Amino acid sequence: MNKDFRKSTVYQIYPKSFYDTNKDGLGDLRGVIEKLDYIKELGVDYIWLTPFFVSPQNDNGYDVEDYYNIDPRYGTMADVEELIDEAGKRGMGLMFDMVFNHVSTNHEWFKKAMQGDSYYKDFFYFRKGKPDGSAPTNWVSKFGGSAWEYVEKFDEYYLHLFDVTQADLNWENENVRREVQNIVKFWMNKGVKGFRFDVINLISKAGFEDDTDGDGRKFYTDGPKIHQYLKELNSMSFGKDPQIVTVGEMSSTTMENCYQYAGRDTGELSMVFNFHHLKVDFMGNEKWVLVPADFQKLKDIIFDWQVKMGEHNAWNAVFWCNHDQPRVVSRFGDEGKNWKESAKMLATIVHCLRGTPYVYQGEEIGMTNTDFTDIHQFRDVESLNNYQILLDKGMSASDALRIIQVHSRDNGRTPMQWDNTKYAGFTSEDSEVKPWIGVNSNHTKINAEDQLKDKDSIFHYYRKLIAMRKYLDVIAYGDIEPLDEKNSSVFAYRRIYEGHEMIVVANFYGKDFEWKHTPSLEGFEKLLGNYDETEITAEGSMILKPYEAVVYYR
């Protein structure tokens, strides 16, 4: 399998919610195997699976207990080997999700540490508290509360940047780094063709002191030895095979660090995820509020990263959705009468950018946010913790619920909508066990079975976008030039490569808009659009219909 990741598209699967073959209410690896032909029809090159290793599932598998074995809930090692093999036969590579900032407190390393084994205690950050007995620092966990947990036996605290059951690994320890390298090599030997590294830029801590003006993140984000650690991991494991593609999830990162993380010749990773563009409906860094999305800020961030990463020969992963994000059509589009047009418009923007596009399961059929009306329908630990925090601050239950409904990670975790049957085809209609999380009732209108039959569907539009990247070098390799950057309605840019040009125009809103700054389209042909006709006036203005997107090429 010889692929150029710049011409490739990645399909992300959250196995727990993808397809349940054994009627236990949980998606499984056999479900992925059974749906490989569907994924292949989309035209993608890699399948990224979120973790399915042995785990207590306190954070849906991102709390790994054993990196070498498969959680029985998802299947067996034989299933994984068959999946790798069957995907390979269809020209697709598997990308595994590796969580190396922390392990589950059920992991044997942590259990041995808690037994007092000094070799394994040094795999983690155990620290004495302050003279008054309080935590070593004032750092806040990403999931709320202190980032430190007291262990009476040692009269020490251990660090957990995430859930209390996710203990941070001490990458200063060479033995930790060697263990991580061995895990990567084990899966390479199984035929895995890619790795996504979870919050990988948090693995280097810059010292342990109070953060007088923040939550502690400045002491562990893009830390002092991060590039050293990634270069070492590259040279000792995946870098030995030029066919392996890697992506780092970079939490609250800086672009300057990403020039190195994803530089063409820096010896670290193939590409990076950054999330700055998905905070434009936050208030500062505060997620659990309701504010309208800032369209100008969205454009500024995307264009800034696009242009500057290009100037530094560094590569982006480009995306709207994943298992940690609300559904983009609900977030920036329209769930109502312009649902199809807005979903296609949003897809057009991302898939024509400079970078490798990622499609999250259900995005290709326009799945929307949950329709949950009760906090007890939610499963996500982050959402439930923050719901309680909002109540503790004095917010009413109805207002707190509305915030969770909009921002919860569960919006991306409801079962994949395969058809219009009782459980959306995620599990059998006669299953005695309900899906682990509720099915969106709109599956009767939004499902894969209907869209496969409809040539004008969102699914078939995604197919065209994914195919275009493969045959048009200007998408894969071209420079990017933002157009009319301050326009309050239009998202537009030009791509340029060796005499080839492409212009992408999108009306981001649900009303007609006359774009008077339309560049000359002389010699261009319309390659793709979400409406049959695009109106150009005699004066050269473009009359864009609600959520209209159009791609021109010459």
Catalytic positions, please?
Answer: 198, 249
DSSP conformation letters of 17-83: GT--SSSSSS--HHHHHHTHHHHHHHT-SEEEE---EE---TTTTSS-SEEEEE-TTT--HHHHHHH
Nearest-CA neighbor of 344 among 481, 518, 531, 491? 531
The b-or-e profile of 477-499 (16+ CB within 10 A means b, else e) is: ebebbbbbeebebbbbbbbebee
Residues forming beta bridges with residue 70, ordered by sequence position: 53
Return the residue matching tokens 């929307």.
368
Q: Which helix (H) or strand (E) holds 56?
A: none
Tell how strand 156-159 and strand 126-127 pair up.
antiparallel
338 with 510: CB under 8 angstroms? Answer: yes
Quick one: tokens of 404? 């969770």
Query: Phi then psi for 454, rounded to 5 degrees?
Result: -100, 110
377 with 435: CB under 8 angstroms? Answer: no
- Furthest-apart CA atoms within the chain: distance in Å: 80
Q: Within a 13 Å sphere around the CA of 536, how many CA atoms are in the beta-carbon half?
A: 10
Rounded distance, CA 237 to CA 92, Å? 21
